[in-house]
Every structure is written in structure tokens, then in C-alpha cells.
Amino acid sequence: MKKLRVGILGYGYWGPNLVRNLYKVSDCQVVAIADNDQRRLDAAVIAHPGLETSSDAQELLYRNDIDAIVVATPPSTHYLLASIALENGKHVLVEKPLSRSIDEAKSLIDMAKRYKLTLMVDHTFVYSGAVRMIRDIISSGELGDVWYVDAVRINLGLFQRDVNVIQDLGPHDFSILNYLIQSEPKTVSAVGIAPVEYGSGTPISLAYLTVRLANGVLAQFHLSWLSPVKIRRMLIGGSQKTLVYDHLDPDHQIKIYDKGLETITEGDRRRLLSERRIGDMYAPKVDQTEPLEQMCQHFVECALSGKTPLSDGVDGLKVVRLIDATIQSLDQGGAVIAL
């Protein structure tokens, strides 16, 4: 069976994880990696003896023995590297976000369509067993009508210079929101601060975002590089039950609470009962296969078969649109129309 021959651009923070998981895919052959830091290349060879390395990304982009390119470089380089790869007939997997602008994202989508190539974004969390189970739970109606999504993604660092905390952490929760709720954003409002200065143009390191979806769901995001504790938690509140997703709790990643407020009808009037409904809580068993492994397997499968990826360019564009709207809101100091 034909194997997908892959070249990886970037072996910094995320690159080693991608290489490690691509090695697990039986239909994939990691041919070479490129990075401009020789120390990273030396580390790659130690981890994967025999792996070819290069200090020149262009070399991999034009090689005839490479079928696909994985872009794990800073976001400011995503569009240029991905576009060159597509122009040279290579399938492309891009680390989030897909690009720095809506126009760039649209251009990549058009190129992939024109050349009939796979364009996929590493929205890792939509490949996790927990998030997939949550979508099934929502679709089943167990939660009732979804009213709100409240997400917290905070930690201490990593402080970056070419992106702010929204561009860095936001794509994770934005992609989860798009996957679970599947409704377009209507308005976006964001506030943020950059209290720690580390040079000119210091990006925002703490932000609060409010997104109103077209179907009425209200989504709130708390993103921070300043927190002394690491939290990766999302609450999804429904008319019947509330679900809590805690990515950092492997034993109980999903908890479903049968708690809420009941209403009774008196003629044409409705009022809240004086007592809250206190029901059971249960934690279903979740598939703990590493999401990144599932994502890498899916990319190889789609590139070899022509199947449309779950996190394709269109999905990447949705996240870029949401990021763009939050930046507009920060600049204008108020809510912006996102549709």
C-alpha cells in the first residue's frame, strides 16, 4: 500500500509532538524535517535516528519525494509556506490558526480546491474522545436546548511575540465551539490587557470574549497567559442538564449534572419553583487515545483517499473569522457584527 511521504517544517514547541504521532501512522513515512535552529535538528535526530534534516524549509517544499507538508512554524509564516506547498502539488497540514487573515485563509482554500489537494488545520481537540462524545450527547438531546458555553483556558506563559493570547489559545476553544454547536457567530465582544511588558508591541496576555451565536447560544471565553494555575475547562448549560468538560481530569473528563431550575405553569403565567432540582451526576467513560494521534491518522487518510477532513480549510476559516472579529472588537472597544 502506498505511504504518504511527509516533510515537517518546524521542530520547536509543537513540531516534536507532530513528528512523534506521525511515526505511529502505518500509512505515513516521515521523510525529513526543517528548522533554522541546529539544536532542534540535533534533538530530532536523537529522538528519531536516521531522520533527514535541513535548515532550509524551501528544500522540503520543492522535493519530489515528499507528498505532504506539515507546517508547524510561527503563524506569520503559515500562509507563505502553505501556499508554496500547495503550488508544488503537496497536501498540507497547518498548525492552528490556518492564517493571519481571512483573505489568506480563503486563498489557501481556493488553491487546495483548484489543485485537488488536502488542506487541513490542526484543530487537535475536535479529535479527542471527550469532545466527540460531547457532540453526541448534545445531539441526543440529553442536555435539552443548549443555552450557554463557558470556557476557561488559562496558564502561566508561554509568552509569545508574534501572536496575542487570543490567537494562541483561542483557536482551541473556537474550534470546539464550532464543532459542538454548529451555528455562526452573530456578534463578538472582547476586552483584554497586556500588563506584563517585554518589548515594543507587547501582545495582549489576558482576554475575556463574549460571542452570541445566530441560534441564541451565548459563549464566554476566558484566555490568559498570566494564571499561576493551568485550567482547561468548559461548561455547557442546557435546559435539562449541564455538562462540564475538564481536559486535565483524565479520569472524569466529562461530568453531567442533572441540576437546574424547574418551572411550573399557572394559567398563562410561568414561575420558578422555590426549590432547585438536585439530581444525579455521572461521568461517562471517555476514549483516551491521544487526540493528536487521531488527527495525524485522519490527515494521512484524507490525503491518500481524497476524503474531506473534519478540520478542513473551511473549518480553519471559521476560526480565523472569529479571531478577526475579536481583534476588531478590541480595537473598536465594543461589540462587532461577526456574520
pLDDT-based confidence at 196, cuts 50/70/90?
confident
Contacts of 5 (CB under 8 A, 6+ apart): 29, 31, 65, 66, 67, 68
Contacts of 123 (CB under 8 A, 6+ apart): 96, 171, 172, 175, 179, 295, 311, 315, 316, 319
- Asked whether the predicted pLDDT for residue 311 surpasses 70, the reply is yes
Q: What's residue 315's pLDDT?
A: 97
- Asked whether the predicted pLDDT for residue 30 surpasses 50, the reply is yes
Q: What's residue 1's pLDDT?
A: 67
CATH of the domain spanning 126-289+321-337, picked from 3.40.50.720, 3.40.50.10420, 3.30.360.10, 3.30.1300.10: 3.30.360.10
148-169 residue pLDDT tens: 999 999 999 777 778 899 999 9
Q: At 309, list the grid cell.
A: 477532513
Domain boundaries 4-123+291-308, corresponding CATH code: 3.40.50.720
Does the reported pTM lie above 0.85?
A: yes
Q: At 209, list the grid cell.
A: 470574549
- Asked whether the predicted pLDDT for residue 265 surpasses 60, the reply is yes
- Average pLDDT on 112-136 reads 98
- Average pLDDT on 7-14 reads 95
90-109 residue pLDDT tens: 999 999 999 999 999 999 99
Q: What's residue 208's pLDDT?
A: 97
Between 280 and 261, the more confident residue is 280
Tell me the pLDDT of the chain averaged across its residues: 93
Q: What's residue 272's pLDDT?
A: 53
- Average pLDDT on 30-46 reads 96
- Average pLDDT on 214-243 reads 96
pLDDT-based confidence at 213, cuts 50/70/90?
very high
Q: What's residue 264's pLDDT?
A: 65
Q: What's residue 145's pLDDT?
A: 95
Strand order in the sheet with 185-193: 269-282, 254-266, 242-246, 226-238, 146-156, 218-224, 206-213, 185-193, 336-337
- Asked whether the predicted pLDDT for residue 192 surpasses 90, the reply is yes
Contacts of 317 (CB under 8 A, 6+ apart): 98, 102, 105, 106, 109
Q: What's residue 250's pLDDT?
A: 87
Domain boundaries, the chain: 4-123+291-308, 126-289+321-337
Least reliable range by pLDDT among 195-199, 254-258, 326-330:
195-199
Q: What's residue 271's pLDDT?
A: 59
Between 159 and 16, the more confident residue is 16
- Asked whether the predicted pLDDT for residue 260 surpasses 50, the reply is yes
Q: What's residue 69's pLDDT?
A: 98
Determine the Cα–Cα distance for residues 201 and 189; give it in Å rounded to an integer.
22
Determine the Cα–Cα distance for residues 183 and 337; give it in Å rounded to an integer.
14
Q: What's residue 301's pLDDT?
A: 97
pLDDT-based confidence at 274, cuts 50/70/90?
very low
> Does 126-289+321-337 match 4-123+291-308 at the fold level?
no
Share of the chain above pLDDT 70, in %: 93
Q: At 65, list the grid cell.
A: 519525494
